[in-house]
Amino acid sequence: MPSQATEYTPGVPDWSTVHEPTGELFPPIQSKDEWERLKLTDEQVNTFHEQGFLLNVPVLTEEQCDKILDDYKYFMGGSHHPGKNMLYEYHSNQAEDPDNVLVHVLGHWRLTKLFHDLAFHPKIVRAASQLLGDKGENVGVRFWHDQLFAKPAKHGGVVAWHQDYSYWTRTAPMSHLTVHVALDDQVEDNGGLKYIPGSHRWTRNGGKPLPVLDFNFKDMEGIKTILTDEENAQFKPVMGLLKKGECSIHHALSVHGSYGNKSDRPRRAAVVNYFKDGVQSVSEEEMLFSHTSDETAHVNDPRRRCHVPKVIWEICGSKMEGQFFPLVFDPAWVN
């Protein structure tokens, strides 16, 4: 049985203190053979490394999606979880425009068993191990942080084109990836996720990511102003067309984004981010907050950029591990 979660405040468990699945979302993996059956194919691994992303990977059943969506209520429409102060960030509308609403949340894996267990999902972490390794080898994988992106019907906002690692440069080496799990069908008119093939090779100044132009994701096309002529010529978006319960997996430098939701149905997604075991902190900056939210941080507050709170940050040069960076896949489980 999983360990009992330590209480953040009386009666409110903090699930970041449990470093194994609770069993609430999926049954446990019992053998190496079960892990083996979850492997990506060589073709899928090659596609990821060639294109910078992999689409339409089945992860959740419709029933599992609906269970997670029931927990989504804590972050929508004014409902609040009693442990909301554990969140790293909370934006009821990061766009600050009532006609273009983008709900964006980080840290919810600490609040509910379902969001906690999603970070440990066997299909996800098995794939992450292969894709973070060289030539599909199995490597250790640690959880980085999670995100919710919700675009309500008819007035859902955009998520501007960006590279994820642009926000994560306080860690090195760059051995990260992102898993975007669709909790609704994603199509063109409801703001489904799009990718730019090959953009994971776009770097600056000796391998650094493109700079961040808009920390609130509002300037959809702004990235094109800093691309080279060659990069702009290659800027040919591919629509993910994820079905409910499918995920896409993308490289930390893969340029991606999504336009607004003008349909009559919501577009909700749960995102989990990972890094290869051994990644270190390379920042000497001290994080100055325990969380940011609509109530506690101004929209232009630079602290918002960190995407991790002070309590989980390590000193410069130290390995990223501990309570907030659990090992979610150990290669010993399959070797």
pLDDT tens per residue, range 223-237: 999 999 999 999 999
pLDDT tier, 295 (very low <50, low <70, confident <90, very high otherwise): very low
Mean of pLDDT values over 303-328: 68
Name the least confident of 16-30, 214-228, 256-270: 214-228
Mean of pLDDT values over 245-253: 98
Between 143 and 300, where is the model more confident? 143
pLDDT at 300 over 50: no
pLDDT at 310 over 80: no
The mean pLDDT of the chain is 89
Q: Which helix (H) or strand (E) holds 72?
A: helix 62-72
Mean of pLDDT values over 283-309: 41
pLDDT tier, 284 (very low <50, low <70, confident <90, very high otherwise): low
Q: Give pTM, 2 decimals.
A: 0.92
Contact between 182 and 247 (Cβ < 8 Å): yes
In the chain, what percentage of residues exceed pLDDT 70? 88
pLDDT tier, 92 (very low <50, low <70, confident <90, very high otherwise): confident
Cα separation, 117 vs 311, whole angstroms: 21
Largest alpha-carbon pair distance within the chain?
57
Tell me 81's DSSP state. -
CB within 8 A of 43, min separation 6: which ones? none
Cα separation, 274 vs 126, whole angstroms: 12
Cα separation, 39 vs 273, whole angstroms: 19
Q: What number of residues does the chain have?
A: 335
CB within 8 A of 3, min separation 6: which ones? 17, 18, 19, 20
- What's the pLDDT at 137? 83
